């Protein structure tokens, strides 16, 4: 197949402790459901001369490209706070595809069969959750937030046992790497200093080459990862995204969003919003995402203690000071992000009060998070009486006055807001409609949704149906892990 694959598999050359060499388990009757042609182009891959039957064989793992070195990666993780030794229990990494000999991308199959890390699992994935990951990851990419991406989904022609018998599928995921906080936890648990040094050096070479000659690589790595993860969670908060399962094995060292399981977007503003069926106590709720990010980074810091300083007490003191600074970094980034959402230039001592007054009003009045900022941008496709509320009108007047401070203008503020406030997000009920139709072999709703989500900051015609939040009902919307 003259597709353009260019594999160079460095992770597969790491010590055996890091990996298991294994091939995907072939499937019975693969069929291509969707192929991301734009992403393929970005990867310098050309599938135009390959028919759908052969593409299905390729993206199911029944036929592998040349020069792959298929492995499952070992890692650990704190899952809802409890430490577990894990690993790729239903994923196989084909290898690292090089684009123009400079950019390196992991190509991974998700749902590709059992590995030694499966822990009694079947190693398979279900069509609905794989298409959910495809939709949401591509939406997050369009929202200009760092993320793993989805290249293809193939149905397997096999049934997978969950609560019911469900159609199986394999997702092809593309990532700058799959190195996680949990990868460091796994290696740290082995208590082999040479392995830890190997992982630090590998991660730095792959993601942070600017610190390769640093006097304290581990310390600089911790600082850089904290900066990236802090920015990532600020971006999630900007668009109302709730990851849903922020275990340490779902936090990447590259700063990309990974693992779209019980993820969803918030409709009406409620900081306690949680959708995951297994998150009974709101550990991964919307407002808890920043402190959980800090908590996860503290787990990374623990792994790096032996390399930060030879004196353990000194190393712990240094690492603690870095992690404790997370709050300061986050609060400043969050404040500036909210200023951008409101079109505010410069600083004013009353900015936090202005922002919090709006958020409190939204929460009290169950106002839609995304549409409230659309209203402020005068994008009035969605009519809502809630904005005639006296408290909102009073707030609006104060906001208008603030816009003109620091040389601001209505025009410049609007331009700033347009860059930071999406007009359309993957509304949960529209995602469910698309997935339900796809389960019945009707792909038009999903393709239509994907087309609209490609331009979230652009005012598109005839998208009102995709802007309206789900009707309020007695049933709480829930998302599921898919395993």
- Model confidence over 58-79: pLDDT tens digits? 999 999 998 999 999 999 999 8
Residue 482 scores a pLDDT above 60:
no
* Beta-bridge mates of residue 84: 77
For 306-339, give one letter per residue: b (16+ CB within 10 A) or e: ebbbeeeeebeebbeebbeebeebbeebbbebbb
Q: What is the pLDDT of residue 163?
A: 80
Question: What is the mean predicted confidence (pLDDT) over 105-117?
Answer: 96
R_g (Cα) of the chain, nearest Å: 23
Alpha-carbon distance 465 to 430, whole Å? 9
Output the average pLDDT for the chain.
94
Q: What is the pLDDT of residue 187?
A: 98
Residue 380 scores a pLDDT above 80:
no
Q: What percent of the chain has pLDDT over 70?
A: 97
Alpha-carbon distance 141 to 438, whole Å? 22
Query: What does residue 336 show for φ and ψ, rounded to 5 degrees?
Result: -65, -35
pLDDT tens column, 135-192: 999 999 999 999 999 999 999 999 999 888 999 999 999 999 999 999 999 999 999 9
Find the range with the poorest average confidence among 231-235, 280-284, 295-299, 399-403: 280-284
pLDDT tens column, 227-265: 999 999 999 999 999 999 999 999 999 999 999 988 999
- The C-alpha angle with vertex 479 and arms to 475 and 483, in degrees rounded to 5, equals 140
Residue 1 scores a pLDDT above 60:
no
261 versus 410: which is more confidently predicted?
A: 410
| Residue 139, both tokens | 């939406």
Q: What is the pLDDT of residue 470?
A: 83
Q: What is the pLDDT of residue 188?
A: 97
User: Could you tell me the pLDDT band of residue 410, with boundaries at 50, 70 and 90?
Assistant: very high
Question: What is the mean predicted confidence (pLDDT) over 100-117?
Answer: 95
314 touches 242 (CB < 8 A): no
| Residue 175, both tokens | 């990532």
Alpha-carbon distance 67 to 464, whole Å? 48
266 touches 273 (CB < 8 A): yes
302 touches 184 (CB < 8 A): no
Count of other CB atoms within 10 angstroms of residue 449: 22
Count of other CB atoms within 10 angstroms of residue 417: 22
Q: What is the pLDDT of residue 277?
A: 66
Q: What is the pLDDT of residue 79?
A: 83
Question: What is the mean predicted confidence (pLDDT) over 355-366?
Answer: 97
User: Could you tell me the pLDDT band of residue 205, with boundaries at 50, 70 and 90?
Assistant: very high
Question: What is the mean predicted confidence (pLDDT) over 293-315?
Answer: 98
Alpha-carbon distance 407 to 169, whole Å? 55
User: Could you tell me the pLDDT band of residue 294, with boundaries at 50, 70 and 90?
Assistant: very high
- Residue 249 known to be catalytic: yes
Residue 483 scores a pLDDT above 60:
no
Query: What does residue 278 show for φ and ψ, rounded to 5 degrees?
Result: -100, -5
Query: What does residue 141 show for φ and ψ, rounded to 5 degrees?
Result: -60, -45
| Residue 385, both tokens | 């009486």
Q: What is the pLDDT of residue 480?
A: 62
Q: Select which of 88, 106, 235, 249 is catalytic.
A: 249
CA atoms within 13 A on the CB side of 450: 21
Q: Label residue 38 left, alpha or beta by phi (over 0 means left) and psi (-120 to 50 means alpha).
A: alpha
Q: What is the pLDDT of residue 120?
A: 82
């Amino acid at each position: 197949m003259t597709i353009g694959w260019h594999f160079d598999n460095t992770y597969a050359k790491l010590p055996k402790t890091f990996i298991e060499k294994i091939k995907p388990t072939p499937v019975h009757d693969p069929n291509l459901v969707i192929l991301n042609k734009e992403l393929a182009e970005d990867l310098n891959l050309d599938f135009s001369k390959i028919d759908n039957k052969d593409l299905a064989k390729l993206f199911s793992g029944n036929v592998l490209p040349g020069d792959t070195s298929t492995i499952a990666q070992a890692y650990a993780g704190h899952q809802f706070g409890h430490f577990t030794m894990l690993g790729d229990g239903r994923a196989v990494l084909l290898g690292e595809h090089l684009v123009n000999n400079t950019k390196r991308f992991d190509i991974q199959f998700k749902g590709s069969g059992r590995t030694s890390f499966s822990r009694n699992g079947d190693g398979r994935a279900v069509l609905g959750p794989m298409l959910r990951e495809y939709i949401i990851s591509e939406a997050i990419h369009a929202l200009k937030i760092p993320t793993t991406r989805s290249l293809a989904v193939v149905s397997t022609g096999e049934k997978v046992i969950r609560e019911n018998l469900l159609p199986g599928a394999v997702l092809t995921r593309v990532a700058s790497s799959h190195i996680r906080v949990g990868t460091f936890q796994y290696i740290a648990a082995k208590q082999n200093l040479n392995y830890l040094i190997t992982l630090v050096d590998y991660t730095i070479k792959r993601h942070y080459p600017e610190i390769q000659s640093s006097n304290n690589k581990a310390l600089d790595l911790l600082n850089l990862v904290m900066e990236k993860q802090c920015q990532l969670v600020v971006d999630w908060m900007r668009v109302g995204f709730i990851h849903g399962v922020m275990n340490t094995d779902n936090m990447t060292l590259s700063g990309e969003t990974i693992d779209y399981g019980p993820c969803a977007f918030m409709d009406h503003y409620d900081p306690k919003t949680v959708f995951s069926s297994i998150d009974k106590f709101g550990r991964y709720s919307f407002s808890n995402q920043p402190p959980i990010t800090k908590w996860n980074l503290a787990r990374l810091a623990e792994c790096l203690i032996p390399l930060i300083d030879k004196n353990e007490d000194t190393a712990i003191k240094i690492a603690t000071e870095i992690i404790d600074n997370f709050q300061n970094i986050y609060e400043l980034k969050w404040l500036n992000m909210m200023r951008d959402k409101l079109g505010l230039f410069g600083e004013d001592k009353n900015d936090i009060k202005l922002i919090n007054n709006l958020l409190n009003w939204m929460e009290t009045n169950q106002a839609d998070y995304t549409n409230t900022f659309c209203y402020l941008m005068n994008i009035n496709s969605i009519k809502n009486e809630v904005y005639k509320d006296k408290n909102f009108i009073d707030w609006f007047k104060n906001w208008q006055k603030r816009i003109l401070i620091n040389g601001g203008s209505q025009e410049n503020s609007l331009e700033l807001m347009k860059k930071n406030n999406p007009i359309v997000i993957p509304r949960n009920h529209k995602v469910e409609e698309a997935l339900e139709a796809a389960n019945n072999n009707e792909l038009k709703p999903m393709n239509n949704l994907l087309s609209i989500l490609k331009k979230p900051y652009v005012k598109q015609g005839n998208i009102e149906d995709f802007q309206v939040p789900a009707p309020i009902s007695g049933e709480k919307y829930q998302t599921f892990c898919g395993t």
